[in-house]
Amino acid sequence: MTGFLIHPLDPLVFGSGRPFTSVPGSRVTSRSLPPPSTLAGAVRTEAGRDANGRFDISQIETLLAEAVYGPLLAVDADSPELALPSPADAIRLRGDVSEEHLLRRRVPLELSDGDYVSTHHLAPVGSVITDDRKEVKSPPAFWTQRDLLSWLVDPPPPVETRPLSEHWGISGPDAEVRIHVRVDRRSNLADEGGLFSTEGRRFVGRRHGELVALAMYGETTADLPLPSHAVIGGEGRLSRLASCDRLVPEIPKVIVDSARNGFVRAYLATPLPLEDGTWQPTGVARIVGQAHGPPVVISGWSMAPLTRTFGYEAARNSTARSESPDRPQGGPKPVRRLFPAGSVFFLELSGSEDARESFVRDRWGASLLEGQDARDGFGLTLFGTWSGNCHPLALEDSP
């Protein structure tokens, strides 16, 4: 795998999946980060260019076999560091002192006799205690790699809260809105009242109240020319690509020990396709409970011929945009629903201790999936410790 950083030269636009037209008053919104398939397409496009800078369509099958992992947010400094999505099993609360934040865990809960929840026979996941503290309305969306590893390795007990003295997370990339005017094609004059706006993401954020430069990090097996420039996202905006050492840390021994004992948490660093309301693991893993936010919805345009089905059902009865032999005959991709990055699965592992260890080692910093979705970077995973216990609700509220 070759590591690389993407340094946007302008605010980038990553569509939210909503239809957009230049109707007066309309606005295009942007995600904070593109879905993995967007990054995979951009990287393969750059890797497939010939000496004249034109994409060689005969290389499509070869390029689709190359893995592209990402995108992950990174703090763009002299020594880049990953900034990963806030884990869904962490509750961020306001403390008694101004500006103080507290962390509490969500864990699988033990149901009483006669209780039933419609969660595919999974244990509900939540806090075991309640109090009158309010959740932080708009917490930072990303945690530093150091803080996330600390949470994965040694989270607080379920009945306690952990004060955050310096952990304020990282917010960003910041949204930047630009106003446009619709132009009449016949007169080349602006339409009266034809204003619309587009939202892009400028890759700056805040940590401890200070501005920091951000970038996107990825890894690929493709022969990507570095350094180079590439168009990523909508509006044809440029980014600079540069080589980078691997930023994903090695798996801590305590997590391997937890796996050998038969229980781990699986944390998603990138979204994972959602099938029938959950994810069905293969091999030695079984889901006990899951914590996640609302699903992410994506679509897009396939530049590969739709006669090829890779990881999902190709759009049917679609027509090619161009009949030119120099262009691939693609079409619209079907809409897909994904578990958002930051989702957490509580897993019970079976088999021998060596098989359990291999499960987490083989998938640490890699995909939980197989096939094209895995090569496109969906479901990149880190693991955390878990005792395997389902906890009863506390009988009394915390003070």
pLDDT of residue 341: 96
Mean per-residue pLDDT for 195-203?
85
**CA distances from residue 273 to 143, 204, 281, 341 in whole angstroms, order as listed:** 23, 29, 12, 11
- Tell me which range, 118-127, 227-236, 295-304, 342-351, is most confidently predicted by mean pLDDT: 342-351
CA distance 58 to 231: 21
Dihedral, 234, 235, 238, 243 alpha carbons, nearest 10: 0
List of residues 6+ apart from 327 with CB closer than 8 A = 57, 321
- Residue carrying the six token digits 């809105």: 177
- Residue carrying the six token digits 């809409």: 335
Q: Cβ distance 152 to 88 under 8 Å?
A: no
- 217 — pLDDT class (breaks 50, 70, 90): very high
Question: What number of other Cβ atoms are within 10 A of residue 282's Cβ?
Answer: 9
Q: Cβ distance 22 to 195 under 8 Å?
A: no
Residue 262 has pLDDT above 60, yes or no: yes
Residue 351 has pLDDT above 50, yes or no: yes
Residue 354 has pLDDT above 90, yes or no: yes
Ramachandran angles phi, psi of 327, nearest 5°? -120, 140
Residue 247 has pLDDT above 80, yes or no: yes
Q: Is the dihedral of CA 78, 80, 86, 89 positive or negative?
A: negative
* pTM as predicted: 0.87
Task: Give tens-digit pLDDT for 53-70.
Answer: 888 888 888 999 999 999
